[in-house]
Amino acid sequence: MVNPGAPPDAFARGVTLALDAAASIGTVAVLRDGVLADARTIVMRSAAEERYLPAVLASLEAAGATAARVDRVICGAGPGSFTSLRVAGAVAKGIAMGTGCPLYGVPSLALIVAASEDTRGGGRWLVTLDAMRGDRYLALVTVGADGDVTAVTPLGLAPAVSVAGRAEALEARVIGPGERLEGTPHARGVVRCLGLIAAAGVVELGRWEPVYGRLAEAQVKRDEAEARARAAADLARG
């Protein structure tokens, strides 16, 4: 397991753009030579305007950079909000394709732990994120004594009522939106995940997509409606 205690050489030089939108807000962070230079949050949903890409460009400008000068992009890989993850993923891939720079992924649930100052002491964390319908996305995240995230084990979907029991069984503390220790994913957390990200390596740009966890609610409703229609048609045919 990679845990160098300092940014790997791949991230210690130039401009790193980090994006994540696994929750109801989008987040952006810009690192210069491995050091956080700017970070911000964006309310994603707006029928009147596109907010995320302008915020990305504004964050780069605040850090003294431009999209054309990005040396690498790191994108939250989910699971989480279907629509928001698609937006962040599209921006990340567009910038990487346009500049020819590499794209890296990072588990969005790891960014919940890595963005929190309360997790710097190390230990095991059961991370939760709302998956709707009474469920939570879960992951077990390990933090080293130096505060860096060293391991992430996805645990899939689980009922919200089972979280406390899972945490006790795993000997882990719980963190996430609405939990006793509140936390949400933020792109600035990549600073504490660089060893993990470097170990995972560059993604295949043409094929990479975030892990959505489950279909969008609208897609689920369409699928259910189509299933009912097929059942009715079969019944009518006798």
- In the DSSP assignment, the letter for residue 204 is -
pLDDT tens for 26-42 read 999 999 999 999 999 99
Q: What is the model's pLDDT at position 1?
A: 33
- pLDDT tens-digit map of 5-27: 445 677 889 999 999 999 988 99
Q: Which one is predicted more confidently, 104 or 225?
A: 104
What is the model's pTM?
A: 0.86
Give the separation between CA 236 and CA 228, rounded to whole angstroms.
12
Order the strands of the 135-143 sheet from edge to edge.
149-159, 135-143, 123-132, 173-175
- pLDDT more than 90, % of the chain: 76
Measured over the CA atoms of residue 125, residue 182, residue 2 and residue 202, the dihedral's sign is positive
- DSSP β-bridge partners for residue 151: 142
Whether the Cβ atoms of residue 160 and residue 152 lie closer than 8 Å to each other: no
pLDDT, tens digit, 9 for 90 and up, residues 144-187:
999 999 999 999 999 999 999 999 999 999 999 999 999 999 99
Strand, coil or helix: what is 172? coil
Q: Which amino acid is at 206?
A: G
Between CA 101 and CA 5 the distance in angstroms is: 25
Q: Is the pLDDT of residue 4 over 50?
A: no
- List, as one string, the DSSP characters of 129-156: EEEETTEEEEEEEEE-TTS-EEEEEEEE
Q: Residue 18 phi/psi, 5° resolution?
A: -115, 135
Residue 50's pLDDT band (cuts 50, 70, 90): confident
* pLDDT score of 110 more than 90: yes
**Percentage, residues of the chain above pLDDT 70:** 84
Please name the residue that has the structure tokens 């030089």: 13
- Give mean pLDDT, residues 67-84: 95
